[in-house]
Structure 1
Amino acid sequence: MATEKGTGTARGRRSAGLLLFRRTHTAGHPDVEVLLGHMGGPFWAHREQAAWSVPKGEYGPEEEPAAAARREFQEELGLPVPEGTWLPLGEVRQNNGKTVVVWALEADLDPATAVPGTFVMEWPRGSGVQREFPELDRFAWCTPEEAAERLVSGQAAFVDRLRARLRETAGP
């Protein structure tokens, strides 16, 4: 049974995010690095592969996706969104049914300056003990190849789209 947006299962839920990128040169060829966050909490603590995400978060029908992307970036990194032009990268539907919309923004920041937001959950499960965990517990600049290995299913498409978009605008 389907649930209302923002409640119940992931089906029907929507998230919005902002993918920072910086230009690099590898072996003399232009490329990019993207800023990703490792998901926090006990379920992700010992995982690297498919445990990283674009900084993003859920939004409801009353909030515009771009406003949610800005809010979530600030909440998850504890930093203001850098100035610049947002490049739309479209949507993907993750395996859990959640639809994610992302914009890219060219900017450089030091991941060590991030102060991640937190969430509270019962841990260990069934213990009655509420513990606080960071939403994203660390951040790193990643090459597209690193991002493909680290990102949760579906989100690697945003890195591919970013690279294609930058190639289109680079010209001959």
Structure 2
Amino acid sequence: MTHKRSAGLLLFRRTGPRRGTDAGTGVEVLLGRMGGPLWASREVGGWAIPKGEYGPEETPRDAARREFTEEIGLPPPEGEYLPLGEVRLSSGKLVTIWAVEADLDPALMVPGTFSMEWPPHSGTVQEFPELDRVAWFAPPDARSLLIPGQLPFLERLLGLLEP
């Protein structure tokens, strides 16, 4: 059985040292809150790294850049792509993420959409945003909001950025 594969970009920006907090490295990461009715009431565990599935005809890095544009509606940032490796989720999906240092204004986001039948068994198909919003978070907040299966990518990024 072939498992699905997904790739994405974790944007980070340096904010300078923060005194008296657990923010640590003075870094923020850009996360997106999952869109659609199934995620509407979830904050904790409802945010994700912008990513998406790809097939064998596409490289993971190309897929990560394409998916960033599809989910955020903006071109992927240029700069050094830091590989954060892979994580196999409990579903079996293999996720590959790169970190890129960039600044992005969340207000500029134009989210991609997906269609699903809602309410269930109603026969009504509706469109929903892939991500209903994006925002910058310091590591302590990102840890509590991020989907648990994606936490290793945040920790790997912070490990790379430690002095």
CA distance in 2, matches of 1:45, 1:14: 25
Aligned pairs for 1:1-172 (under 5 A) are 2=1, 4=2, 12-24=3-15, 25-27=17-19, 30-167=25-162, 170=163
Q: Would you say how many aligned residue pairs link Structure 1 and Structure 2?
A: 159
Percent identity for Structure 1 against Structure 2: 62
Counterpart residue type for residue 108 of structure 1: D
Counterpart residue type for residue 140 of structure 1: A
Q: Deviations over 1:34-60 (max 9, x none)?
A: 000000000000111111110000001
Q: CA deviation at 1:32?
A: 1.1
Q: After the TM superposition, list the runs of 4 or more consecutive aligned residues in structure 1 that deviate by more than 2 angstroms.
A: 28-31
- Identify unmatched segments of 5+ residues in structure 2: none
Q: CA deviation at 1:31?
A: 2.6
CA distance in 2, matches of 1:95, 1:33: 27
Q: CA deviation at 1:166?
A: 1.2
- Identify unmatched segments of 5+ residues in structure 1: 5-11
Counterpart residue type for residue 34 of structure 1: V
Q: CA deviation at 1:144?
A: 1.0
Over aligned residues, Cα RMSD in angstroms? 1.2
TM-score using structure 2 length = 0.93
CA distance in 2, matches of 1:165, 1:18: 15
CA distance in 2, matches of 1:41, 1:135: 7
Q: Is the 8 A contact 1:19 1:103 kept in 2?
A: yes
CA distance in 2, matches of 1:156, 1:30: 17
Counterpart residue type for residue 45 of structure 1: A
